[in-house]
Amino acid sequence: MASWVGDSIFDNQFELTIEVPFPSQREVSIALQSLSPDHEPRTGGTIKSLSASANALSVKWNAVKARSLRVSVSSFLDHLALVMETMDTFGQPDLQ
């Protein structure tokens, strides 16, 4: 999935896209809105964009350095796991 595009090793650009399936539009929307508000640190040179389809969240990264891409992806997956666990634990209709 990761592709390397660029003219020289001094101008490399990494791009990565992942798709996260969810049971319904509701969960996709909640995950999107929980994970979107915070921006990447400006210094890293990494751009992350989130979008939603009917039953999947898709995340796309553009990064200058593989290292900062790894850091961003890794923390995103941690955050995603926390949001999903929160939905599992506190999103059941019987709690309402």
Partner 1 sequence: MTVVIGFEGSANKIGIGIIRDGEVLSNPRRTYITPPGQGFLPRETAKHHRAVILTVLREALDEAGLKPADIDCVAYTKGPGMGAPLLTVALVARTVAQLWGKPLVGVNHCIGHIEMGRLITGANNPTVLYVSGGNTQVIAYSERRYRIFGETIDIAVGNCLDRFARVIKISNDPSPGYNIEQLAKKGKQYIELPYTVKGMDVSFSGILSYIEEMANKMLSSGQCTAEDLCFSLQETLFSMLVEITERAMAHCGSQEVLIVGGVGCNLRLQEMMGIMCEERGAHLFATDERFCIDNGAMIAQAGWEMFRMGQVTELSDSWITQRYRTDEVEVTWRD
Binding site for partner 1 (CB under 8 A): 29-31, 33-39, 78-79, 82-83, 85-87, 89-91, 95-96
Close Cβ partners of 16 (under 8 Å, ≥ 6 residues apart): 1, 2, 60, 61, 63, 69, 73
Q: Residue 80: name the closest of 48, 32, 37 by CA.
A: 32
Name the token pair of 15: 């791009």
Task: State the minimum distance, in angstroms, from the CB of residue 60 to partner 1.
Answer: 19
Cβ nearer to partner 1, comparing 70 with 79:
79
CA–CA separation, 17 and 90 (whole Å):
29
Cβ nearer to partner 1, comparing 20 with 31:
31
Task: State the minimum distance, in angstroms, from the CB of residue 8 to partner 1.
Answer: 34
Task: State the minimum distance, in angstroms, from the CB of residue 33 to partner 1.
Answer: 4
Cβ nearer to partner 1, comparing 2 with 49:
49
